Amino acid sequence: MEVYHKKSGRCIQSISFGGGVGASVVVDEEVGSGKLVAVATSNKVICYRKLPSEEQIKDVLRKKNFKEAIALVEELECDGELSKDMLSFVHAQVGFLLLFDLHFEEAVNHFLLSETMQPSEIFPFIMRDPNHWSLLVPRNRYWGLHPPPKPVEDVVDDGLLAIQRATFLRKAGVETLIDDDFLLNPPSRADLLESAIKNIISMPLSLTTAVPWGKVNGGGCCRIRYLEVCREKELTLPVREGVDTLLMYLYRALNRINDMEKLASSENSCIVEKQKESKIRKFTFIR
């Protein structure tokens, strides 16, 4: 049985009944409410009802059909069944699922499409707790479909272990949800970290110690994508301080002197912590 969208005519679901001869839909248009559909096969009658919209979206996301989930949300929004905020919510949820699946570029694409996601939600992937901005991080678990935030190098290590396990399971004839491309051509840790750095500013970073990421990606040519875009948004002062300060230290870690000078000479909210005095002061760049 196939289910079609009432306006677009697009097939949105296909249901298989297994054995039996020619399924037929049992309806009574005169008294039926449309809330239940009964399908009779040769040996059983199966009743279907429409799931709430959120449950439909969750089910699709659990199966990692991300494009289908976004298409469903956009369709429901056009029909007035879901709000624009829910579309932003789902984009963020998809982004986190993709991030933990090691698809960093696609993850950031969805983060940037979310109008409700806060830049501080990325901080735990960059810095280990506790840090100066720990209390700014929203404890938003969305639908609980992804693990809690952790430094992205841990995300990469856990993802590589999952790929190894999935490879063994596949050889044993067990299907997994791991990307087939990863199973056929497993990525290296260095390549994954490079992708993460380019897209979301990754690896744990001490606010007083630069990390030599040039050794990871072969040089300081990566683009600090997400936080650079976030600088253009309306942010609270504490969050802006976190974004600008992380950018400055990351530019320094990547030896991107021109970007450091550009940020320092512009209006910014960078801060730096003095280790001995344990005070916070405005960051100034001296040529």
pLDDT at 214 over 60: no
Residue 21 to residue 27: CA distance in whole angstroms: 19
pLDDT of residue 89: 95
Per-residue pLDDT tens for 97-123?
999 999 999 999 999 999 999 999 988
pLDDT at 11 over 70: yes
* Number of DSSP helices (H) and strands (E) in the chain, helices first: 12, 7
Domain boundaries defined on the chain: 2-50, 83-282
pLDDT of residue 281: 42
Residue 187 CB neighbours (<10 A): 18
pLDDT of residue 20: 53
Task: Show Cβ contacts of residue 175 under 8 Å, excluding neighbours closer than 6 positions.
Answer: 169
Q: What average pLDDT score do residues 43-69 get?
A: 88
Residue type, 131: N
Mean pLDDT of the chain: 79
Closest CA to 115 of 134, 95, 101: 95
Residue 92 to residue 125: CA distance in whole angstroms: 15
pLDDT of residue 200: 67
Closest CA to 74 of 118, 121, 49, 110: 110
pLDDT band at 44 (very low <50, low <70, confident <90, very high): confident
